[in-house]
Structure 1
Amino acid sequence: DIATIRRVAEEIKEVHACGIDIAIIIGGGNIMRGGEAAKAGIDRASADYMGMLATV
């Protein structure tokens, strides 16, 4: 949703303009989804754990 992305980007820009440092962390769930991995034969719990480890 491009409108949501623009709104979030503007909010980040406004906060940064106040001199506040920002870190954006993409969760490992965006790399490894437990449900999708389970369909490929990987144990669901193991796949969820892999996604959590990818976040660290």
Structure 2
Amino acid sequence: MATQQVVVVSNSTTANQSTATKNYPVVIKPLNLEGGQCTWCGKYGHSTMICPYLR
């Protein structure tokens, strides 16, 4: 399982200039290229005729 590192930096002049780093687990789904790229939304794995964003 991959982890994503998130860095939070405060821009406030009154805040302490510290950096907090946290690791969060990220689940990366495999890319489905069988359906090709949708010409409407640009995502892979389905065609424009069955685009879930057009429903």
The answer, yes or no, to whether TM exceeds 0.5 is: no
Which structure has the bigger radius of gyration?
2
Q: Which has the higher helix share?
A: 1
Q: Which has the higher strand share?
A: 2
What TM-score, normalized to structure 1? Answer: 0.21
Greater RCO (Cα-Cα under 8 Å, separation 6 or more): 1
What TM-score, normalized to structure 2? Answer: 0.21
